Amino acid sequence: MSENNERLEQCRLACAECQACTLGASRTHSVFGAGSPSARLMFVGEAPGEREDATGIPFVGAAGQLLDRYLFEVGIPRSDVYIANILKCRPPHNRDPLPEEQDACISFLRTQVRIIRPRLIVCLGRISAQKLIKPDFRITREHGVWFSRGTFDMCAVYHPSALLRDPSKREDMLEDMYAIAERLRAASQ
Ligand code: SF4
């Protein structure tokens, strides 16, 4: 096991035991994250849904399958990226994560970023962008805009669940995903 894998596994075990907010009591599984431990590209969503809670794996439901299709379309293997959420446990009825839940959980994500050290972090949806990029982030106006954060660059795209609800946003998403693939290629040279 690589050093990154070992450090991520230690963090995952701590996450599986975590009861730092009330969501720990209602989860089936905590959903830590999945993908390459040395990924150059990391996606961060907001919280696990029903399928993720049942399996312990992020983005395996309909939204995850849609994200897979975009990755395939722009030539990024899913096995090359790392995918995680701000919250590691599912909020009841998929409601938005509360600020206190985000504050309680964010240290796991910070540790994941410190270990993986991605070059690009892409927020999936408004909640993640408002937590990680800036509190007043407007996803309809600012999706696809890059922000430099020292050792990595960040942007946000629509959450795949939003694209399932509103297919008119899919063209914007495809454009953003092509731009992400291009930036990833440049960052890898
Ligand atoms: S959501 Fe995060 S902080 Fe809350 S119990 Fe789960 S792992 Fe712990």
- For position 119, what pLDDT does the model report? 97
pLDDT per residue, tens digit, the chain (189 aa), is 689 999 999 999 999 999 999 999 999 999 999 999 999 999 999 999 999 999 999 999 899 999 999 999 999 999 999 999 999 999 999 899 999 999 999 999 999 999 999 999 999 999 999 999 999 999 999 999 999 998 999 999 999 999 999 999 999 999 999 999 999 999 887
Tell me the domains of the chain and their CATH numbers.
3-188 (3.40.470.10)
d(CA 157, CA 71): 13
Which of 12, 17, 18 has most ligand 1 atoms within 8 Å of CB, for mutation? 18
Residues in the chain: 189
Who contacts 158 (Cβ-Cβ below 8 Å, separation ≥6)?
124, 125, 139, 143, 169, 172, 173, 176
Structure tokens at 69: 């299709």
- For position 93, what pLDDT does the model report? 92
d(CA 31, CA 57): 6
State the first-to-last Cα distance of the chain, in angstroms, to the nearest integer.
Answer: 26
8 A C-beta contact, residue 167 and residue 135: no
Structure tokens at 185: 């290629």
- The owner of tokens 């910070």 is 110
- For position 188, what pLDDT does the model report? 82
8 A C-beta contact, residue 177 and residue 184: no
pTM for the model stands at 0.96
- For position 1, what pLDDT does the model report? 67
Which of 21, 26, 90 has most ligand 1 atoms within 8 Å of CB, for mutation? 21
Ligand 1 pocket residue status of 105, Cβ below 6 Å: yes
Q: What's the alpha-carbon Rg for the chain, to the nearest Å?
A: 15
Ligand 1 pocket residue status of 115, Cβ below 6 Å: no
8 A C-beta contact, residue 159 and residue 63: yes
